[in-house]
Structure 1
Amino acid sequence: MALVNDSSVKEFILLGLTQQPELQLPLFFLFLGIYVVSVVGNLGLIVLIVLNPHLHTPMYYFLFNLSFTDLCYSSVITPKMLVSFVKQNVISHAECMTQLFFFCFFVIDECYILTAMAYDRYAAICKPLLYHITMSYQVCHSMTFGIYVMGFAGAMAHIVCMLRLTFCDGNIINHYVCDVLPLLKLSCTSTAINEMVVFIVVGVNVIVPCLTIFISYTLILSNILGIRSAEGRSKAFSTCGSHVIAVSLFFGAAAFMYLKPSSASVEGDKVSTIFYTIVGPMLNPFIYSIRNKDVHIALRKTLKKNMLT
């Protein structure tokens, strides 16, 4: 199949989050602030993990990848979204397809990184004696390679199918990002294959991770309830709590977006997309840091070292 599109539409207009003039400027500064916090938070967590040897463990290895993914896909989306608040947001067909590819790539990556983190917690709590074997560096690297392969395969599936479509007249995307579903509405050719690919790719990359995470935490909960020490139970719950919050936020919003009835409103789509593309990447560094003693120690050591130098 040739990856060349003969569409007569060479550029699209992204309508953005809202068309109400009185909301444009306040929303611009709101999302600019969110983006700055997201970049600083994720970049800061990446630097802390790299600079502090005691954070070079499987748990923080996957947290490093999560922060990298959040940093990348919020940067793929938010800067272009901010443009729509101050002027007409025109994006070429090639730029739109590129944004779509990286959007799909990083979102799928995040699904599997969160899944790997759940498995890591299962191995640490349920099989502590075998943890260093179960989650060896070789295993972690292999899992990470598989994560990025799944992201690439899912993104390529969407792009290949999208490039076979023709966009004849309509070029106004009622969204702030080049996403699959808004683009399908503009096609003047059959989108049956695309819809089937969306169903398969989204189904696999949401249902499989969700089942894996559910099974992991069911086993974790069963193990925690068997711990006699109240302190031990509290420590185990604390270890898993932040991850559960991040998983609920990401998969809840993603499932609402893609596994909803077709009659759902476009505005509802935009709001749910905001949670897992913009709000989630901002919150994750704080979710994993606020009650994390290892991160606090690493931050104090790094600040102290910089102050002394």
Structure 2
Amino acid sequence: MIRQRALPRLAALLLAFIAAPFAGTLGADTLDEVRQRGYLKCGITESGVGFSYLDANGQRAGFEVDHCKTIAAAVFGELKVEYVLATPQTGFTLLQSGAIDLFPAGATWSYLRDTSLGLDYAGIYFYDGQGFMVRKRHDVKTVTDLANATFCVAQGTTLEQNLADFFDSEKLDYELITFADTDKALEAYQADRCDALTMQRAALATRMSGMADRDDHHILDETISSEPQGPLVRQNDSRWRDIVWWSFNARLLAELHGISQANVERVRAESGNREVQRLLGVYGDFGQVMGLDNDWAYDIIRLVGSYADVWDRNLAPIGLQRGPNRLWRDGGLMFALPFR
């Protein structure tokens, strides 16, 4: 029998036990953790030339890698980053466990990912759609020509569900062969184990650019899904989410105002535009609101560049057109949120 006076102590212990697994999440402050560590831990995938790869000097480069650099620039004013290799599947668990601070590796923003993983998206930095690579000798013109075809696909991605939704709606049969990651799926396609390789069209373009027999293949014009992609952070850490969100937005705003890595010093010294002055830390204390230096956005543009700089450096060389990733004023979907 438990004595009456022991009940409050027992209740307190039970509450502490129940709350313990959630304490780290509820009290999370990634910014403080990153600063104390002295560098950002950023999850990246081996997604290939243009997105994430080792350049001729053995350095990490690509569109995806520049997202990591963007946040490091905002926090430190320097590119202090440790890159942690992940797959589209392990990136989520690495972030959930605290092994990385950010996963900006092109994960599609979907309902279940946003609501069931304990993670939050921090904006959209790339609009894409699921496409198909096929051999020219098969004379495939449209996706419906792939009825009864065999598809190579990376497992654990939204690609499988998109295929099922499309072919079910068209009342067409197909066969699926799944692989641990996109590289394995590509290898199987090149070994002629399937009729088509399916993934986001940008990823297909990247892989095709590295194929020795690329002239024997083509990517269909059609897409069967909308794939808005953005960086992921842990839930219940609103300051860190704000930093990631507004850091990417700063690159868009820079492009909107014609600011680039090449001219940011001159613009900072000469511009009379008040929004530009706020963005570049000349006017107001806008960095302090998020716990950053007022030069945080200036450091992003100085060290990484505008959205256009990042695109032109990484994706234009592999032939990707901006398309929906153009600024809204140019007919695209990219809106820079106002800096005021």
> Which TM-score applies when normalising by structure 1?
0.28
More helix, by proportion:
1
Question: Higher strand proportion, which one?
Answer: 2
**Please, what TM-score do these two structures have when normalized by structure 2?**
0.26
Larger gyration radius, structure 1 or structure 2:
2
